[in-house]
Structure 1
Amino acid sequence: MKLDKTTTRVFIRIFCGLALLSILNVFNACSDLDPDPLEFNLPPESFGSIADLEKGVFGLYGLLRTSAVFNTFYAPAWGGDDITTFTGGNKQDFREFDQRSVSSSNARLLGNWNNLNTIINNSNIVLSRAEGLSLFDLDQDKIDELLGEVYFLRGLAFYHLARTHEKMPVSLTRLPDPNIENSTRQEVFLQIEEDLMEAESRLPTINESLATAEVRGAARANKGSARALLSRLYLDWAGFPLKDVSKYSKAAETAKRVIDEKGSHGFDLVNRFQSLWEIANRFNNESVFTIAFDQSAGIRNFKYNRVGYPGEAPFAGWDETFAEIRFFEDFPEGSRKEATFRTDIDWENLSNQQSPVFAKITGPIGDLPMEGQWHITERNDFYMRYAEVLLIYAEASARSGNTSAEAWEALNKIRRRAAGLPFSTPVTSPIPQLDKDGVEIPGLTYVDVTTGDLAELAFTERKWEFAGEFLRWNDLVRMERVEQALSNRNPQISMDAGGNLLTVPNPINGSLGLDNYFSPLPQAIVDENPNLLD
């Protein structure tokens, strides 16, 4: 299905509009004045057609967008050593994660819980209502593909919750059990694995309905999307707290299959790192699963632009998402650093708070407007990038004892692009390294590496590659490195105009121990069902 640019935009608007409306129109039983014979013979509360099932699937994508529209979706990521928030104002919920003192009454915790469980519960409804469609002479391949999307979205919702809570209930019924008990983490991960494997078996290699020259990056999940998310799951599974190291080989194997079949799925690295954050490139081949937004259809994203700027004049930003000073200082110089941070802003001499500014949040200089409702954008969320698939393959291969040339090459592709070089061309000689002012740094810089601890090199590369993308906290948890990272946050060289060394804006006031890696269940949810308190 090939769409021109205008038709593509209309299609996206229909896709987004249906996503918002279908919850009301599809999940409630209704009948036409002239009933369809097929619907007449279906069990009660069943879909009457493939079109109804597709509307239900669009509704689930709409619920995911609703969940992801604010930073609530990623609030636990403020626990990482890359992200911080404002020391005052209305940022208390983010500061709790930032300072490792998350309370069960945290509003972001509750909001995320409710939003993700709404996706899970409605996925169960869609699966239940689709059961009768198998009884009739319909396009079963199309039905399978649509159900694959349901399993993918349910698995994603379970997984996103599991990265916040160590124990949680696993509801798989049409009507949720009000007295349900928590499942163990092993049981939760087994269910996520089952959902993603079911999705992989049913999804198409590429979803043709939203795969055009203008709409790239799997705005609807395909087989590669499911495999990529599975590889991330296995990497977490091999780490804390389950520590099933056999899953490293599973992570490597699954990531490798995505790499081998990237062309079929429409995946690859983009040539220029900075282009990922440009609004014109909000659909790109590097996103293996994209949560898509569209301002003209009223589907707007509230996580970028203004929220990343300082609140003081002349910016008038919302002081929500800043970078840690020490993280900025330690970040290797080069084109990737320039694309990650707004080094044009004199953040060291801000009055309210001296914190580096993420270009990944504000957008590159001049790319997003700073007027009107500039807290609203149509920037998409790249829920997972192909760069992560490459680094999972490199790290998991090494941790499972396989340091192959292909694993090294996966790492080196990321390193080359970070240096501003073509990612597919090997670099056999050292190159000069320049600082932010273009001055050469003494010593030789080797871009390609083929010796050393591949697993640790890949782990560290993730630190820089995904800075500010809400992933670092989960990496620190799985490798049990929270204390190592967060107890070493003091600025080393950043000073104000008076020569005063800057200090950490939000010092840690909670435990950095293993007992504080996961957030409590929301108190309001436990009050409704005391069985969840264990």
Structure 2
Amino acid sequence: MKTTYNRNRYNIRSILSFLIIASAFCSCADLDEDPTIAQLAPGAYSKIQELELGVTGVHAKLNDASWMTTFYAPAWAGDDITTHIGSNKAEFREFDQRLVSQANSRVRNNWEAIYSTIRAANTVLANNEGLVLTEPSEIETQNRLIAEVYFLRGVMFFHLARIHGRIPLPIIPDPDQQLGLAEQIDVYEQIESDLLKAESGLPDIYPGVNAGAPRPNSGSARALLARLYLDWAGFPVKDNAKYTDAASSAKQVIDNSAAHNFTLLEDLEDLWTLEHRFNDEAVWTIPYCRSCGQPNRKFGKLGNPSDLQGWQETFAEIRFFEDFPEGARKEATYRTELDWKNFSDQPTPVFKKIVGPIDDIPLSDFQTDRNDFFIRYAEVLLIYAEASARSGNITPESWEALNMIRRRSEGLPFNIPDPSVDVTTGDLAELAFTERKWEFAGEYLRWNDLVRMERVEQALSDRAPQTSLNNSGELLPEPNPIKGSLGTDNYFTPIPQREIDLNPSINN
């Protein structure tokens, strides 16, 4: 009965995810055909429709992996995000306090869900090997779909590597494989290979989809390569030559941004509204659809305290909030109108990025239509600024990439030079790194930046609030003080014990 239940649950979720993807298209697939037939059937594909539905199945697995905050649980280790001091948030607190157990179910569920997505991708790639097409339009579709699968597999390897460092690299659909942990350089090279294959087969704009690349284009793949190279240049491999590759990749995306419809939004706050969940700043989007039964469960109610009917899961760090420069970007990042210092539950700031602007998401909603902007064009610009500086090849365009973000942070037009904001001297690499700190606060990225630059101890050793007082005049405390090591030995999340029990070869 259990096996039947799980299979039926997967079929239902797959159908719903199929509808989500279809809703992002103007037209694409025959909805009278059961998508789960092609997704679950073994053996080679015999027609293009089976390949199309197989790729839909990979997206279904991705949505199963990403719809909850579990997907980003390690980000609670950053100095920008914290969680509740009690309640049922113990597994988030483990990251927050740098004391993560191998029994942490968030880690285990994330590992299982990501590898399920990877196995689905491997199955599609294997089944496609027997699909021989003759119609030029079908061959073109086949090439695009296979490139998309390489993209999804590469991104899943990358996402898991940012969490665990060394990981197994299954690239064939063999459920009985007992792979050990690949060397870090091999992990990066596999991700690079997948993303390069994706870039070569994807179009400038994926046909028939909404803004924000809810299905990736060639620019999406090149942007993820830029992020990969930036990590590759940092801890633990520290191959400084990769800064040149990161800058070059980001510059390619910038130079071809018009072809991909990538740009910054004029108003940063628009990014966090339901109305703009599809937008041109998103370089790759993971879409959700509440009415289809595939909601996003990371936003809304989860970011509020019980004072506001919240589930008190994703809060903002007090010290980070205190240090955050005043201006339009801070107002777009936090709900500054709230009297958060006197919440009776837990006095911590509230991310507008998580709960939405006033009245955009009802206080009772914990499942929303909000999309995940897995990578934004703002990050491409800041990768270019930082990587060009660290590679020793600063150009006027490098400064402009930084200044575009600085202007918008002040509520100014991002593409009009402004001497009151623009900078053209100083340590560009550090200026760009700091700009990332503020620009991506609450977006589950800060921890990865601290790791690659080996600045965990610097950032987390002093999180004590400095100026925030409650109505009694008492200085607010740090809710979740550090308990574990801040050294490099504790940068990556332990592999789940359950996985080690099943495959002892991954016990390093």
Band of TM-score, shorter chain: over 0.9
Aligned equivalent of 1:161: 160
Q: Distance in 2 between matches of 1:494 and 1:304?
A: 25
1:328 matched to 2:328: no
Structure 2 unaligned segments of length 5 or more: list them. Answer: 1-18
C-alpha distance in structure 2 between counterparts of 1:15 and 1:151, whole Å = 21
Q: Helix, strand or coil: the match of 2:291? A: helix
Aligned pair partner of 2:56 in 55, 58, 75: 58
CA contact 2:247–2:383 (8 Å) conserved in 1: yes
Q: List structure 1 runs of 4+ shifted beyond 6 angstroms.
A: 7-10, 13-18
1:474 aligns with 2:448: yes
CA distances 1:261-306 after superposition (whole Å, capped 9, x unpaired): 0111111000000000011000000000000011221221110000
Selected match of 1:241 from 236, 239, 247 = 236
Amino acid at match of 2:192: E
What is the CA–CA distance in structure 2 between the aligned matches of 1:337 and 1:268, rounded to whole Å? 21
Superposed CA RMSD in Å reads: 1.9
In the alignment, which residue of structure 1 is the partner of 2:353?
Answer: 360
- Of residues 454, 459, 463 in structure 2, which corresponds to 1:485? 459
Offset of residue 16 of structure 1: 11
Is the alpha carbon distance of 1:21 and 1:81 closer, same or farther for their aligned partners in structure 2, counting shifts above 3 Å? farther
AA paired with 1:57?
Answer: V
Cα distance, 1:490 vs. partner? 0.8
Name 1:85's counterpart in structure 2: 83
User: 1:260 and 1:335 mapped to 2: Cα distance?
Assistant: 28
SS at match of 2:131: helix
Matched position secondary structure for 1:62: helix
Provide the rounded CA distance (Å) in 1 between the counterparts of 2:130 and 2:341: 63
Aligned to 2:223: 228
The equivalent residue for 2:507 is 533
Give the aligned partner of residue 146 of structure 1.
145
**What's the secondary structure of 1:190's corresponding residue?**
helix
* Identical pairs, percent: 55
Structure (1 or 2) with the larger CA radius of gyration: 1
Match of 1:28 among 31, 40, 47: 40
Is 1:311 the counterpart of 2:297? The answer is no
Residue deviations 1:118-173 (CA, integer Å, cap 9, x gap): 11111000000001123655632211100010000000000000001121110011
* Equivalent residue number for residue 200 of structure 2: 201
Cα contact 2:268–2:408 (8 A) shared by 1: yes
- Give the structure 2 partner of residue 174 of structure 1: 173
Q: Find the aligned partners of 1:10 and 1:414 in 2 and give their Cα distance.
A: 34
Q: Confirm or deny that 1:377 pairs with 2:368.
A: yes
- Alpha carbons 2:20, 2:287 under 8 Å: kept: no
**Partner residue of 1:391?**
382
Separation of aligned partners in 1, 2:268 and 2:52:
35
- For structure 1, the residue ranges without an aligned partner over 5 or more in a row are 1-6, 30-43, 431-446
Classify the secondary structure of the residue corresponding to 2:150.
Answer: helix
Give yes or no for contact 2:219–2:260 (8 Å, CA) kept in 1.
yes
Any conservation in 1 of the 2:67–2:295 contact (CA below 8 Å)? yes
The CA deviation at 1:21 is: 6.9
Q: Which residue of 2 aligns with 1:337?
A: 330
Report how far residue 177 of structure 1 moved: 3.9
Counterpart of 1:426, as a letter, is P
Query: 8 Å contact 2:24–2:214 — kept in the other structure?
Result: no
* Preserved CA contact (<8 Å) 1:81 1:489: yes
With 295-304 and 501-510 compared, the bigger mean Cα shift is at: 295-304
User: Which residue of 2 is the match for residue 442 of structure 1?
Assistant: none
How many residue pairs match? The answer is 487
Question: What per-residue deviation string (whole Å, max 9, x for no partner) do you get for residues 449-469 of structure 1?
Answer: 000000000000000000000
Verify: 1:184 aligned to 2:183, yes or no: yes
TM-score of the pair, normalised by structure 2: 0.93
Matched residues in 2 for 1:524 and 1:531: separation? 13
| Corresponding residue to 1:291 among 286, 295, 302 | 286
How far does residue 176 in structure 1 lie from its aligned partner after superposition?
3.2
Amino acid aligned to 1:515: D
Other structure's SS at 1:132 match: coil
Q: Provide the rounded CA distance (Å) in 1 between the counterparts of 2:28 and 2:110.
A: 24
Q: 1:359 to 1:17 in 2, by over 3 A?
A: farther
Does the aligned pair in 2 maintain the 1:16–1:297 contact within 8 Å? Answer: no
CA-to-partner distance for each residue in 1:336-393, whole Å, 9 max, x for gaps? Answer: 000100111111011121110000000011111224xx11100000000000000000
- The answer to whether the aligner puts 1:11 opposite 2:6 as a matched pair is no
CA distance in structure 2 between the partners assigned to 1:134 and 1:414 by the alignment:
47
> Match for 1:501 among 475, 484, 500?
475
Aligned to 1:521: 495
| Of 98, 109, 114, the match for 1:100 | 98
Q: In structure 2, give the amino acid aligned to 1:150.
A: V
Are the structure 2 counterparts of residues 271 and 129 from structure 1 closer, same or farther at C-alpha, using a change threshold of 3 Å? same
Do 1:491 and 1:501's aligned partners in 2 also have CA atoms closer than 8 Å?
Answer: yes
- Residue matched to 1:403: 394
- The two structures have a TM-score, normalised by structure 1, of 0.89
1:405 Cα deviation (Å)?
0.4
8 Å contact kept, 1:17–1:297? no
Shift of 1:28: 2.9
The SS at the match of 2:222 is: helix
Instruction: State whether residues 255 and 393 of structure 1, in contact with CA within 8 Å, keep that contact through their aligned partners in structure 2.
Output: yes
Q: Which amino acid aligns with 1:188?
A: V
Q: Distance in 2 between matches of 1:370 and 1:357?
A: 13
**What secondary structure is seen at the aligned counterpart in 1 of 2:87?**
coil
Cα distance in 2 for residues equivalent to 1:457 and 1:385: 19
Deviations 1:324-343 (A, max 9, x none): 00000000000100010011
